[in-house]
Amino acid sequence: MRWDVVWNNFDYFLWGSLTFNSQTLSFEGQLGGLALAVVLAALGILGAFWLGLAAGLMRLSRRFWVKAIAVIYIEIVRGTPLLMLIFWFYFLAPIILGTAVPEFQSTLIAFIIFTGAYVGEIVRAGVAALPKGQMEAARGTGLSHFQAMRLVVLPQALRNMIPSFVNQFVSLTKDTSLASIIGVNELTNTATQVNNRTMNAPFEIFITIAVLYFLVCWVLTAISRRLEKHLARYQARGR
């Protein structure tokens, strides 16, 4: 067993080649490793939230065209492997835009579009799970459809969706490992780099990486379970 390989590269796994220079009081090097994976997942879920909210609400719309756009988007993305989407944005952005998009940005866009479709389904299910009376009563007090959605339905529905969002965040964190395929220097990529350089400790390296991912995801899953129990008490129910 050669755990020293893991030990010597552990800081690289955690935050890449980023170092703090105490003389100039600034950071040097590139952020990478686990920290970059978490950053990628966090930015991804942030973008996917807004995209998913729009897609979910469009899907609930009564206008055929609005609904059709959302359905097509959600179904296409959910039927395609994430790796395929990443390749789409990585290899085809230069053709469409004329300039190459950096790896980080292009995977981030792929993650947002991919996760947005799943968040859209969560939003749709969350709004549909709320008793109809909430909307009707809100409209009855004189609010417009938009106001009722924004002030009455969504605040309740979104709160009930928090556990699902956390679960989506967990699976996005796992999915950030795919960014390594096109060369974003996140945790999996640092692992393959160290593995290619040292050649003698693949078992130790990949176990360590798996445990690092596990810790992040498991903590988040535990939080989501507690939230689920906690939030179940406040849910408005239909009769």
Partner 1 sequence: MKYNFDWSVVLTGEYHQWLVDGFWLTLKISAISIILAMALGTLVAVLRMTKVKACVWFSLAFTEFFRNTPLLVQIYFWYFGSFVLLPEAVNKWLYKQDFEFASGVIALTVYTAAFIAEEIRAGIFAIPKNQLEASRATGLSFIQAYRYVILPQAFRIIIPPLISQFLNLIKNSSLVMTIGVMDLTYMARQIESHTFRGFEAFTAATAIYLCISLVVSLTINVYNKHFLRQIKY
Which residue ranges make up the site for partner 1 (CB under 8 A)?
Answer: 75-76, 78-84, 87-88, 91-92, 95-96, 98, 170, 174-178, 180-181, 188, 191-192, 195, 202-207, 209-210, 213-214, 217-218, 221
Q: Report, in Å, the least distance between residue 202 CB and partner 1.
A: 4
Nearest to 172 by CA among 32, 46, 15: 46
Nearest to 154 by CA among 232, 60, 68, 238: 60
Q: How far is the CB of 97 from partner 1 (least distance, A)?
A: 9
Q: What is the DSSP string of 80-121?
A: S-HHHHHHHHHHHHHHHHSSPPPHHHHHHHHHHHHHHHHHHH
Smallest separation, CB 124 to partner 1 (Å): 16
Smallest gap from Cβ 159 to partner 1, in A, equals 24
Beta-carbon contacts of 12 under 8 Å, excluding residues fewer than 6 positions away, are 32, 33, 190, 194
* Residue placing its CB nearer to partner 1 in the complex, 156 or 208: 208
- DSSP letter at 130 equals S
- Measured from the CB atom, the residue of 84 and 232 that comes closer to partner 1 is 84
183: phi then psi, degrees, rounded to nearest 5: 100, 20
- Whichever of 53 and 194 has its CB closer to partner 1, that residue is 194
Is 76 or 236 the residue whose CB approaches partner 1 more closely? 76
Q: Rounded CA gap, 235 and 18, in Å?
A: 45
Task: Compute the least distance from the CB of residue 31 to partner 1, in Å.
Answer: 19
Query: In whole angstroms, how large is the CA radius of gyration of the chain?
Result: 21
If the CB atoms of residues 143 and 217 are measured against partner 1, the closer one turns out to be 217
